[in-house]
Amino acid sequence: MSRIFRVTPKRIKRSNGTVLTPDMSITVTTKQNTSTPFYNGAIEVKEAYMRLFLFDYKKACCSSADFEFCKLD
């Protein structure tokens, strides 16, 4: 069973030549039934940001504290 989350950055973050803004929200489907999309090192979140915005989550030193999320299912 999977879960669907809407992930939105809390603020503008500039780090290592990358920019993350609050309008860069994504919808993520996790592979497991969890309460947070960041449970497994944020693999789905990293992939979605790279695919949609060419934003490197790891290079920008992001963490779950930089984001707000809500369940959609």
Give per-residue pLDDT as tens, 22-48: 999 999 999 888 899 999 899 999 999
Check the CA dihedral 15-55-53-65 and report its sign: negative
For residues 34 and 4, give the distance between their C-alpha atoms in angstroms, rounded to a whole number. 10
Asked whether residue 54 carries a pLDDT value surpassing 90, the answer given is: yes
What are the structural domain ranges in the chain?
A: 4-71
Quote the pLDDT of residue 73: 82
Mean of all residue pLDDT scores within the chain: 94
Check the CA dihedral 28-30-33-35 and report its sign: negative
Question: Above pLDDT 90, what percent of the chain?
Answer: 88
For residues 56 and 50, give the distance between their C-alpha atoms in angstroms, rounded to a whole number. 6
Asked whether residue 1 carries a pLDDT value surpassing 90, the answer given is: no
Quote the pLDDT of residue 59: 93
